Chain A
Amino acid sequence: MFSRAYRAAITLPPVLWVAVFLLVPYALLFCYSFWSVSPSQTIVHTWTLDNYRELFRVNVYLQTLFRSMWIAARVMIFSLLLGYPLAYYLSFYAGARKDLFYQLVIIPLWVSYLVRAYAWKTILGSDGVLNTLLQYVHLTKHPLEFLLYSPFAVVLTLTHIYTPFAFLPIYAALEHIPRNLVEASHDLGASPLQTFWRVIFPLSIPGVLAGATFAFVLSLGDFLAPLLLGGPSGIMISNIVVSLFGAAYNWPLGAAISLCMLLLVLALLLLSEKLEKKWSFR
């Protein structure tokens, strides 16, 4: 048995860490969201629900939130559409090249987010790589304007950045499917397609849910891609939060929006965990 002092000593660091870096900031955020700003730009420490009223009264906040969710949903779908086949191929058919392909998927994660976002700028810009190529082969006469500074650019960039996050849990789930289940399915007369839909896909659902959650939640809170590539039509909710905490100096409203997003994300995580449990059998 360990002494009480010893147990306290090893428990203290994680508790402190969680308190200082998680609980205190969230508590502050919570408090700020019920305070207000005076016309002279100072924080008024009296409790009020004004920030939340403002949030639901001014259209731009909710609109931007919905647009962010729509962008995140598209990123989620495209990440799954790219990540699933990739993971399936790697897990079932890549054979000896499995490790190589796996590393190729992981390596982009080592490259700075900013570099990858800027890379898309040089590809999608009006005198960027893509437009130059399209004009060179005479597919278009003028540069395509919708490529950059648009929700399209944001979705594309975020899909590029978050596909590995969707891929990894799907790949892990597929790797955990005992191969004798696939053999049993074939043995019982199921074609490869029937086997995929009746055995492989159902057993990979926990991975799909985890991947979907990663892609959605991470892109919902993203602010760099819309900042660099989104333009006015590609603004996302985090950009509003950033400007409220910055130039607008309205920390209380920013905190209220942040808290709403936090609740939304927590609800999503809870839901996804429930569903994952329902679909795991071991």
Chain B
Amino acid sequence: MPSDVGARRPHDGRRDGGATKHMATTTEPAVARSAKSGVQPLLVIRNVAKSFGKNPVLRDISLQIAEGEFLTILGESGSGKTTLLRIIAGFESANSGEILMEGERLDLLPPYRRRVNTVFQHYALFPHLSVEENVGYGLRVAKLPKDEIAARVSEALAMVKMTAFASSKPAKISGGQQQRIALARALVNRPRLLLLDEPLSALDANLRRQMQVELKSLQREVGISFVFVTHDQEEAMVMSDRIALLRMGELEQVASPREIYSRPATAYTAQFIGHTNLLRSEVRAGIARCNSLSWKVGLPDGPALFSLRPENIRLATSTGGSDMNVIRLRGKMQHQAFHGSTELLQIVCEDGLALSVRVAARENREGDLLLEFSPADAVPVRESSERGQPS
């Protein structure tokens, strides 16, 4: 596989960071920046909408994918993530909007003319063809010379460590092996963009973790842009350069895993990615109040919602009161869930506030605990719109 690593843009996780606070769901600022710097994104999705009958599945999706980027479309089932992928592949057509690849309309081409390949959820290997013939399928229909096909097929099989199975039929190999063949069959065509539709969901947990690492390093090696669809937020965090979180057919937030985790734009994002405490507060004169707690914020007056990650709450060492930098509070432990290296404590504070707290695992804890967190870790998030909010 030739590598276009050189063409790859070092990825700046904070690229969309400036936008998150105000207009988290749009990528327009990024478009403007790319245009100015002269680097054209590989794929531009512009205002794509799709409905099946009266049922809207995607509404006004705008997104772009850079050369060599690993972008994950993350969402619950029914969020429209697979539909978006199928529109890029050409199996569905959008009702409105357009898709451009390197400046040219992609959405007007039939699937077999797009330089896009897909790894299907259930692999979709041709049962009547051997592993080798499956991998060479795209090259054969493109009528490449026989010796070139043979060379590229064996190269691709070596890449996924499946050379020994070249003449097996797909039914004779395991799920993990079929997965590798599906990947080789797509990559052998040297697509500009590889789409992966929950390719790891059928594998068991250990194999899945192993494949996540392999897939990511393979993507770095070949330098092809990946669009990866999953409902597994952990998988998205491990592999992606950027995550596009889709909710009820709309983009909730597009950002790097670190950004989306530490600076979630909305309550939905904060809850979907990882675990969080939502603090419903009232801001007055630069002070946010939530039950008996209060801390300084730079927000206008009115109701405000804050996300506070369980791991950002610590067990306090000193018994002093709250000050500008540390909020201290006392609570009763309700439940202790052991997670290996850490444990998750459910705590109800004196003022009735319920909190999840993640701390290093220890033997049984009992009774009252003194907790502290720093106000800087309470991230203001927007209320997610009513539509689609799971009740």
Residues on A facing B (Cβ under 8 Å): 178, 180-181, 183-191, 194, 198-199, 202-203, 279, 281-282
Contact = CB atoms under 8 A, between A and B. Distances in A.
A194 B141 contact: yes
Contacts of B138: 188-190
Contacts of A191: 112, 141
B185 interface: yes
A184 B189 contact: no
Interface of B: 89-91, 110-113, 116-118, 120, 122, 124-128, 137-138, 141-142, 169, 171, 185-186, 189
Given A188-B138, A281-B128, A183 B169 contact: no
Given A184-B118, A203-B127, A189 B142 contact: yes
Contact of B111 (A186, A198, A202): A186
Contacts of B117: 187-188
Contact of B112 (A187, A198, A282): A187
A186 B128 contact: no
Given A188-B141, A190-B141, A202-B128, A180 B112 contact: no
B137 A188 contact: yes
A282 B171 contact: yes
A279 B128 contact: yes
Nearest to A187: B118
Contacts of B189: 188-189
Contact of B124 (A180, A190, A198): A180
Given A180-B120, A183-B120, A188 B185 contact: yes
B112 A181 contact: no
A203 B127 CA distance: 8
A281 B172 CA distance: 10
Contacts of B125: 184
Contacts of A184: 118, 120, 124-126
Given A191-B112, A281-B127, A198 B120 contact: no
B228 to A, nearest CB: 16
Contact of A180 (B111, B122, B128, B137): B122
What are the nearest 3 A-B pairs in CB distance?
A281-B127, A188-B138, A184-B124
Nearest to B169: A281
A67 B117 CA distance: 53
A203 B154 CA distance: 26
B367 to A, nearest CB: 57
Contacts of A189: 112-113, 138, 141-142, 189
A279 B126 CA distance: 13
Contacts of B91: 183, 186-187
A186 B141 CA distance: 10
A160 to B, nearest CB: 33
A178 to B, nearest CB: 7
Given A186-B110, A281-B169, A181 B126 contact: yes
8 contacts: A187-B89, A187-B117, A188-B117, A188-B141, A189-B142, A279-B128, A281-B127, A281-B169
Nearest to B188: A188
B128 A178 contact: no
Given A188-B117, A189-B141, A199 B124 contact: no
Given A183-B118, A190-B138, A281-B171, 14 more contacts: A178-B124, A180-B120, A180-B122, A181-B124, A181-B126, A183-B91, A185-B126, A187-B117, A189-B113, A189-B141, A190-B112, A198-B137, A279-B128, A282-B127
A198 to B, nearest CB: 7
B7 to A, nearest CB: 23
B136 to A, nearest CB: 10
A61 to B, nearest CB: 42
A183 B122 CA distance: 12
B121 to A, nearest CB: 8
Contacts of A198: 137, 141
B84 to A, nearest CB: 16
A207 B169 CA distance: 21
